[in-house]
Protein backbone atom coordinates (compact mmCIF):
# COMPACT_ATOMS: atom_id res chain seq x y z
CA UNK A 1 0.00 0.00 0.00
CA UNK A 2 1.11 3.54 -0.75
CA UNK A 3 -0.23 5.84 1.95
CA UNK A 4 0.10 9.46 3.01
CA UNK A 5 -0.70 10.89 6.43
CA UNK A 6 -1.46 14.60 6.86
CA UNK A 7 -2.76 16.89 9.56
CA UNK A 8 -1.84 20.04 11.43
CA UNK A 9 1.24 19.97 13.67
CA UNK A 10 0.39 18.05 16.83
CA UNK A 11 -2.60 16.20 15.31
CA UNK A 12 -0.67 12.96 15.79
CA UNK A 13 0.72 12.19 12.32
CA UNK A 14 4.12 10.97 13.45
CA UNK A 15 2.62 9.16 16.43
CA UNK A 16 0.03 7.29 14.35
CA UNK A 17 2.39 6.69 11.43
CA UNK A 18 4.57 4.45 13.59
CA UNK A 19 1.60 2.18 14.40
CA UNK A 20 0.22 2.11 10.86
CA UNK A 21 3.58 1.35 9.24
CA UNK A 22 4.25 -1.43 11.72
CA UNK A 23 0.87 -3.06 11.19
CA UNK A 24 1.06 -2.86 7.39
CA UNK A 25 4.79 -3.72 7.21
CA UNK A 26 5.69 -0.69 5.11
CA UNK A 27 8.48 1.83 5.76
CA UNK A 28 7.51 5.00 7.65
CA UNK A 29 9.07 7.91 5.78
CA UNK A 30 8.80 11.18 7.73
CA UNK A 31 10.33 14.29 6.17
CA UNK A 32 10.53 15.91 9.62
CA UNK A 33 12.47 12.88 10.93
CA UNK A 34 14.75 12.91 7.86
CA UNK A 35 15.55 16.59 8.44
CA UNK A 36 16.20 15.99 12.15
CA UNK A 37 18.44 12.98 11.36
CA UNK A 38 20.42 15.12 8.92
CA UNK A 39 20.77 17.79 11.56
CA UNK A 40 22.03 15.29 14.14
CA UNK A 41 24.60 14.09 11.60
CA UNK A 42 25.57 17.71 10.87
CA UNK A 43 25.00 17.49 7.08
CA UNK A 44 24.65 20.67 5.03
CA UNK A 45 21.05 19.65 4.24
CA UNK A 46 20.28 19.40 7.96
CA UNK A 47 21.84 22.77 8.73
CA UNK A 48 19.90 24.39 5.87
CA UNK A 49 16.62 22.80 7.02
CA UNK A 50 17.13 23.93 10.62
CA UNK A 51 16.92 27.63 9.65
CA UNK A 52 13.37 27.11 8.43
CA UNK A 53 12.17 24.52 10.94
CA UNK A 54 13.18 26.62 13.94
CA UNK A 55 11.06 29.49 12.58
CA UNK A 56 8.05 27.27 11.85
CA UNK A 57 8.42 27.75 8.08
CA UNK A 58 8.53 25.05 5.43
CA UNK A 59 11.93 23.97 4.17
CA UNK A 60 12.30 25.00 0.49
CA UNK A 61 11.28 22.50 -2.16
CA UNK A 62 14.79 22.61 -3.61
CA UNK A 63 15.96 20.81 -0.44
CA UNK A 64 12.89 18.70 0.36
CA UNK A 65 11.97 17.16 -3.01
CA UNK A 66 15.39 15.67 -3.73
CA UNK A 67 15.56 14.16 -0.25
CA UNK A 68 12.19 12.41 -0.73
CA UNK A 69 13.07 11.30 -4.25
CA UNK A 70 16.25 9.62 -2.96
CA UNK A 71 14.40 7.94 -0.10
CA UNK A 72 11.65 6.54 -2.33
CA UNK A 73 14.26 4.98 -4.63
CA UNK A 74 15.46 2.73 -1.80
CA UNK A 75 14.49 -0.92 -2.14
CA UNK A 76 12.30 -1.07 0.95
CA UNK A 77 9.87 1.46 -0.56
CA UNK A 78 9.35 -0.46 -3.82
CA UNK A 79 6.22 -2.29 -2.66
CA UNK A 80 4.67 0.43 -0.51
CA UNK A 81 5.30 3.09 2.11
CA UNK A 82 3.68 5.53 4.49
CA UNK A 83 4.77 9.10 3.77
CA UNK A 84 4.40 11.36 6.82
CA UNK A 85 4.62 15.12 6.29
CA UNK A 86 5.13 15.05 2.52
CA UNK A 87 3.64 16.46 0.35
CA UNK A 88 2.87 19.65 2.27
CA UNK A 89 2.30 22.04 -0.65
CA UNK A 90 0.47 21.87 -3.97
CA UNK A 91 3.85 22.03 -5.76
CA UNK A 92 5.07 19.02 -3.74
CA UNK A 93 1.97 17.06 -4.84
CA UNK A 94 3.00 17.55 -8.46
CA UNK A 95 6.58 16.49 -7.63
CA UNK A 96 5.36 13.37 -5.86
CA UNK A 97 3.08 12.46 -8.76
CA UNK A 98 6.13 12.63 -11.01
CA UNK A 99 8.24 10.49 -8.65
CA UNK A 100 5.55 7.79 -8.49
CA UNK A 101 5.27 7.57 -12.28
CA UNK A 102 1.79 6.08 -12.24
CA UNK A 103 2.17 3.95 -9.07
CA UNK A 104 -0.38 6.13 -7.41
CA UNK A 105 -1.15 6.73 -3.76
CA UNK A 106 -3.94 4.43 -2.50
CA UNK A 107 -5.17 6.50 0.47
CA UNK A 108 -4.49 9.84 2.11
CA UNK A 109 -5.24 9.90 5.85
CA UNK A 110 -6.04 13.36 7.23
CA UNK A 111 -6.05 13.72 11.01
CA UNK A 112 -8.10 16.57 12.44
CA UNK A 113 -7.67 18.19 15.88
CA UNK A 114 -8.58 21.49 17.57
CA UNK A 115 -5.94 24.22 17.63
CA UNK A 116 -6.00 24.45 21.44
CA UNK A 117 -5.43 20.72 21.84
CA UNK A 118 -2.49 20.66 19.41
CA UNK A 119 -0.82 23.59 21.16
CA UNK A 120 -1.20 21.78 24.51
CA UNK A 121 0.26 18.57 23.07
CA UNK A 122 3.22 20.30 21.48
CA UNK A 123 4.02 22.34 24.59
CA UNK A 124 3.96 19.07 26.52
CA UNK A 125 6.38 17.56 23.98
CA UNK A 126 8.59 20.65 24.40
CA UNK A 127 8.89 19.85 28.11
CA UNK A 128 9.83 16.25 27.35
CA UNK A 129 12.00 16.58 24.24
CA UNK A 130 12.98 20.25 23.98
CA UNK A 131 12.38 20.50 20.23
CA UNK A 132 13.37 23.99 19.04
CA UNK A 133 10.16 24.37 17.00
CA UNK A 134 7.83 23.53 19.92
CA UNK A 135 7.65 27.00 21.48
CA UNK A 136 4.19 28.61 21.59
CA UNK A 137 5.11 31.34 19.08
CA UNK A 138 6.57 28.87 16.58
CA UNK A 139 3.68 26.41 17.05
CA UNK A 140 1.19 29.22 16.18
CA UNK A 141 3.23 30.02 13.05
CA UNK A 142 3.32 26.32 12.06
CA UNK A 143 -0.48 26.20 12.37
CA UNK A 144 -0.80 29.26 10.10
CA UNK A 145 1.58 27.80 7.53
CA UNK A 146 -0.41 24.54 7.60
CA UNK A 147 -3.69 26.41 7.01
CA UNK A 148 -2.21 28.45 4.16
CA UNK A 149 -0.11 25.88 2.34
CA UNK A 150 -1.17 22.36 3.33
CA UNK A 151 -4.93 22.50 4.02
CA UNK A 152 -5.63 23.04 0.26
CA UNK A 153 -4.29 19.52 -0.35
CA UNK A 154 -7.36 18.10 1.42
CA UNK A 155 -9.68 19.20 -1.40
CA UNK A 156 -7.16 18.13 -3.99
CA UNK A 157 -6.97 14.55 -2.70
CA UNK A 158 -10.72 14.45 -1.97
CA UNK A 159 -11.29 15.21 -5.66
CA UNK A 160 -9.18 12.14 -6.48
CA UNK A 161 -11.49 10.05 -4.25
CA UNK A 162 -8.69 8.77 -1.96
CA UNK A 163 -9.15 10.95 1.14
CA UNK A 164 -9.86 9.37 4.53
CA UNK A 165 -10.60 11.93 7.25
CA UNK A 166 -10.15 10.74 10.85
CA UNK A 167 -10.69 12.62 14.12
CA UNK A 168 -7.43 12.87 16.05
CA UNK A 169 -8.85 13.91 19.42
CA UNK A 170 -9.11 10.70 21.49
CA UNK A 171 -6.34 8.64 23.03
CA UNK A 172 -3.53 7.41 20.76
CA UNK A 173 -5.08 3.93 20.75
CA UNK A 174 -8.59 5.21 19.94
CA UNK A 175 -7.26 7.25 17.03
CA UNK A 176 -5.31 4.23 15.70
CA UNK A 177 -8.51 2.16 15.85
CA UNK A 178 -10.44 4.90 14.03
CA UNK A 179 -7.81 4.98 11.28
CA UNK A 180 -7.95 1.23 10.70
CA UNK A 181 -11.74 1.26 10.73
CA UNK A 182 -11.65 3.83 7.91
CA UNK A 183 -8.86 2.16 5.93
CA UNK A 184 -10.67 -1.22 5.84
CA UNK A 185 -7.39 -3.16 6.02
What residues make contact with ligand B4P under the rule CB under 6 A? 9-15, 30-32, 35, 52-53, 58-59, 64, 85-86, 88, 92, 121-122, 125, 133, 142, 171-172, 175
Q: Which of 77, 95, 85 is nearest to 7 (CA)?
A: 85
63: helix, strand or coil: helix
- In terms of CB distance, is 24 or 177 closer to ligand B4P? 177
The residue annotated as part of the active site, out of 2, 71, 88, 107, is 88
CB of 163 to ligand B4P, least distance (A): 18
Q: Which residue is nearest to ligand B4P (CB)?
A: 32
Alpha carbon distance 76, 81 (integer Å): 8
What phi and psi, each to the nearest 5 degrees, are found at residue 14? -65, -40
User: DSSP secondary structure string, 144-183?
Assistant: HHIIIIITHHHHHHHHTT-EEEEE--S-HHHHHHHHHHHH
- In terms of CB distance, is 146 or 163 closer to ligand B4P? 146
CB of 88 to ligand B4P, least distance (A): 4
CB of 64 to ligand B4P, least distance (A): 4
The residue annotated as part of the active site, out of 13, 71, 107, 121, is 13
Would residue 125 show up in a list of annotated catalytic residues for this protein?
yes
Cis bond upstream, residue 87 (ω within 30): yes
The residue annotated as part of the active site, out of 2, 107, 121, 142, is 142
Amino acid sequence: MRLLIMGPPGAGKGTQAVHIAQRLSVPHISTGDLFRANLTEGTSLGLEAKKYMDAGEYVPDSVTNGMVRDRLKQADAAQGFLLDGYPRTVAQVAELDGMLAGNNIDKVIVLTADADEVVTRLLHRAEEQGRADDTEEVIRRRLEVYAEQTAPLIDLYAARGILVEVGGMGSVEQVTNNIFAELHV
